[in-house]
């Protein structure tokens, strides 16, 4: 599928929700990752010139799983808890077990397609109870990410003049304007990286900005393969009629994987320094099957 196809297929009708259900068959587990063609990957490869690399992951400082007399007290909730294990006395090696809460607002993580059902179904329209069992996700899980994701990434920096205002709804015009300003054009199969200048920790006193349904529709029309942003869906919701355009439409209807809580400050600084807003993006989650999400350390290579 080339980029004209991708642009042609999705409906532009503003009254319908953007959807790829059925587009790649009833058994599809890749969703918009299908848009990463050889051509798209080569476009990404061409961005690698110096080997300079930036991580798009927030640092995670684990909390000790053990509290009480044998460990310092727990300070903060963390996405990861750690317990150092006894390997004999004296210790033969040092080792630990970690307990990971995959979907945590302070962990940069990749949502699999099965993470969000819509009307009892997960992408591309399978019953939730059949796709996700007590033993793990059977369809639309992290299994689809086994080989990693490699494609061209494009940063649209919406916060180059400062963080977006509280409660602001990002629209397709904002995305078009950023492309214009940066002199870059996102093509089908590219990963979209967005900077809003906020972080995902909800703050009841200052409503977040977030993507509107119009912005998500733009992603559909343009063929975004993967979304990564410092924030995405606003909490509290911007629009009660569509409270979570990325998680409630992008994941279950469009089949577009999401990277929540990306760290994009350093990336933005380097893009500005280089005057170049495109790069090779690699996302290589631990190769663990059957999850609905997984922590990742996305790398931008220049």
**78 counts as binding a second copy under rule CB under 8 A:** yes
* Contacting residue, 125, 136, 163, 237, with a second copy by CB under 8 A: 136
Q: Which parts of 256-285 interact with a second copy (CB under 8 A)?
A: 280, 282-285
**98 counts as binding a second copy under rule CB under 8 A:** yes
User: Is residue 215 helix, strand or coil?
Assistant: helix
Among the listed residues 181, 219, 272, the one whose alpha carbon sits nearest the alpha carbon of residue 31: 219
**118 counts as binding a second copy under rule CB under 8 A:** no
* Contacting residue, 23, 41, 138, 276, with a second copy by CB under 8 A: 41
DSSP string, 227-286: EEES--S-SS-S-TTSS-IIIIIIIIII---EEES---HHHHHHHHHHT--EEEEEE---
Among the listed residues 54, 61, 97, the one whose alpha carbon sits nearest the alpha carbon of residue 78: 61
Per the DSSP assignment, residues forming a β-bridge with 258 are 111, 227
Give the β-pairing of 191-195 and 149-157: parallel
Give the β-pairing of 132-133 and 136-137: antiparallel
What the block records as the tokens of 116 is 């969000």
**240 counts as binding a second copy under rule CB under 8 A:** no
Q: At closest approach, how far in Å is the CB of 241 from a second copy?
A: 18
**144 counts as binding a second copy under rule CB under 8 A:** no
* Contacting residue, 6, 33, 60, 267, with a second copy by CB under 8 A: 60
**101 counts as binding a second copy under rule CB under 8 A:** yes
* Contacting residue, 25, 68, 165, 275, with a second copy by CB under 8 A: 68
Per the DSSP assignment, residues forming a β-bridge with 121 are 118, 127
**32 counts as binding a second copy under rule CB under 8 A:** no
Q: At closest approach, how far in Å is the CB of 142 from a second copy?
A: 10
* Contacting residue, 1, 7, 30, 71, with a second copy by CB under 8 A: 71
Stretch 178-207: interaction string toward a second copy, x if CB under 8 A: ------------------------------
């Amino acid at each position: 599928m080339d980029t004209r196809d991708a642009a042609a297929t999705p409906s532009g009708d503003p009254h319908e929700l953007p959807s790829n259900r059925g587009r790649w068959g009833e058994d599809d587990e890749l969703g918009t990752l299908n848009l990463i063609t050889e051509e798209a990957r080569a476009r990404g490869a061409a961005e690698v010139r110096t080997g300079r690399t930036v991580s798009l992951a927030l640092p995670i400082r684990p909390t000790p799983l053990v509290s009480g007399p044998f460990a310092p007290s727990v300070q903060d909730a963390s996405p990861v808890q750690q317990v150092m294990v006894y390997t004999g006395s004296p210790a033969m090696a040092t080792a630990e077990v970690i307990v990971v809460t995959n979907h945590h607002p302070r962990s940069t993580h990749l949502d699999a397609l099965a993470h969000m059902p819509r009307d009892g179904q997960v992408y591309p329209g399978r019953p939730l109870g059949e796709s996700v069992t007590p033993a793990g996700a059977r369809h639309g899980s992290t299994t689809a990410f086994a080989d990693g994701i490699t494609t061209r990434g494009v940063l649209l920096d919406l916060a180059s003049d400062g963080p977006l205002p509280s409660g602001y709804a990002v629209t397709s015009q904002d995305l078009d304007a950023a492309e214009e300003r940066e002199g870059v054009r996102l093509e089908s199969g590219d990963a979209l990286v967005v900077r809003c200048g906020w972080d995902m920790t909800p703050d009841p006193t200052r409503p977040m900005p977030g993507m509107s349904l119009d912005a998500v529709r733009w992603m559909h029309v343009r063929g975004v393969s993967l979304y990564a942003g410092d924030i995405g869906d606003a909490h509290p919701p911007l629009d009660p009629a569509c409270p979570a355009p990325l998680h409630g439409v992008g994941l279950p209807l469009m089949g577009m994987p999401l990277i929540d809580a990306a760290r994009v400050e350093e990336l933005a600084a380097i893009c500005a320094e280089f005057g170049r807003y495109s790069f090779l993006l690699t996302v290589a989650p631990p190769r663990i099957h059957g999850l609905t999400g997984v922590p990742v350390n996305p790398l931008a290579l220049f």
